[in-house]
Amino acid sequence: MPRLNPVLLLLAVLLALALAGLGFVSHAPNRLVSGESMGLLSLLHGGGWLRLLPLAGLAVTACLPPRRTTSLAALLLAEALLFTLTQQAGLTAQALSGGEESIARTSLGGGYWAAAALCLLIGSDAVTHITAQRGLRLLLGAQMVLPVVALLVSGRLDALSLMQEYANREEVFNDALWQHLGLLGGTLLPSLLIGLPLGVLCYRSARWRAPLFPLLNIIQTIPSIALFGLLLAPLAGLAAAWPWLGRLGISGIGTAPAIIALVLYSLLPLVRSVVAGLASVPAHVQEAARGMGMTRGQLFRQVLLPLALPVILSGVRVVAVQTVGLAMVAALIGAGGFGAIMFQGLLSSALDLVLLGVIPVVLMAVVIDGLFTFLVSVLEPPRR
């Protein structure tokens, strides 16, 4: 048995280097001016150094033999460090704020983001050594962010520039959230209605499979912005020729071309997962079902589909996560969503506004991935 945990040791060293060498926060007189970078070590005074105790604990834990108890300790220490670093960032922002009338901004720096990512990596690695159950792994990983959520709810992070951007655009943020969810739901439903039957046809017929997969591969290689542009002219022409289509929302810009493009992108992973799932059902299982007198429809509903469902859901997971990301680009054609906030921040050179649009999308993708992963783990038969 090794005397130390090399993965944890490497991550702890990288964590220390990030906190010591990168700016923890930056302070600027307004949101458009580059801020002055401030390191964490320059912000800690007196008892503030106690906030680095979890980092020292991680270093000690890394020198112990890898066991379930040490992995649990690493998880708790990484969670504690993430909490103390976030708390320090909030306290620093409060100390640097000039009151309610001030337009000065305190933003999270690269040191904080790198340290937060490394804390999550340490927690993710620790969870894999604590339990083999996927559901429990997801719960242990998700609870890492609960202390940070508590800080958000308590208002102790309100002085940060990111939270000020949210406060100034709360209504816009909420609208973007519903628009993004609308794009996701509006893509998944037609994708399933089209992709599932196509997958079954491709599984049963090589005549369908031969031309369809190359076509879907070609669609997948087209850049998203280019595909939005290709749909612009024909949809605008349809709306001009039949005005009632325009009244239904179908036009060259807006939600309609975005959903059409996102559905086209989703077909390849969905159809392939259906074919792969159905093909993974052992032949002897199908022969046994036929020997019991099952019809073709009964064989599909009672044998093929239940056994192929975990693989199919894995494809749906890929489609959902992919759609959440690609929907950001759809803001360029007026589809709204968090992409509109992100591009507004890029145009105004406001980094925190960019993050206000990006962070919810990342969280949404992680949550969707975790939910589908848990669902697949529940449906998968136990391994012997």
pLDDT band at 290 (very low <50, low <70, confident <90, very high): confident
CATH number of 170-379: 1.10.3720.10
Instruction: Supply 324's token pair.
Output: 């959440």
Run of H or E residues at 38 = strand 36-39
**Strand pairing partners for 26?**
37, 107
Lowest mean pLDDT across 16-20, 74-78, 138-142, 267-271: 138-142
Q: What confidence score (pLDDT) does residue 381 get? A: 64
Look at residue 64 in the predicted model and tell me its pLDDT. 86
Ranges 43-52, 243-252, 325-334: which has the least confidence: 243-252
3-state secondary structure of 195: helix
Whether residue 2 is predicted with pLDDT greater than 70 in this model: the reply is: no
- Collect all residues with Cβ–Cβ distance below 8 Å to 87 and sequence separation of at least 6: 51, 151, 156
The domain spans of the chain are 6-159, 170-379
Q: Find out whether 271 and 208 touch, Cβ atoms under 8 Å.
A: no
- Token pair in block for residue 15: 């964590």
Interatomic CA distance for residues 160 and 351, integer angstroms = 13
Rg (CA), the chain: 25
Place of tokens 């850049």: 223
Which residues are CB-neighbours of 137 under 8 A, at least 6 positions away? 127, 128, 130, 131
Percent of the chain at pLDDT > 90 equals 35
* pTM confidence score: 0.85
Whole-number Å distance between alpha carbons of 232 and 210: 29
* pLDDT 10s digits, 6-43: 888 999 999 999 999 888 998 888 776 777 888 888 88
- Dist. CA 184–CA 191, nearest whole Å: 10
pLDDT above 90 (res 173): yes
Q: Mean pLDDT across the chain, nearest whole number?
A: 86
By mean pLDDT, which of 19-28, 49-58, 120-129, 286-295 is the weakest?
286-295
pLDDT of 315 > 70? The answer is: yes
Residues above pLDDT 70, as percent of the chain: 95
Banded model confidence at residue 228, pLDDT cuts 50, 70, 90: confident
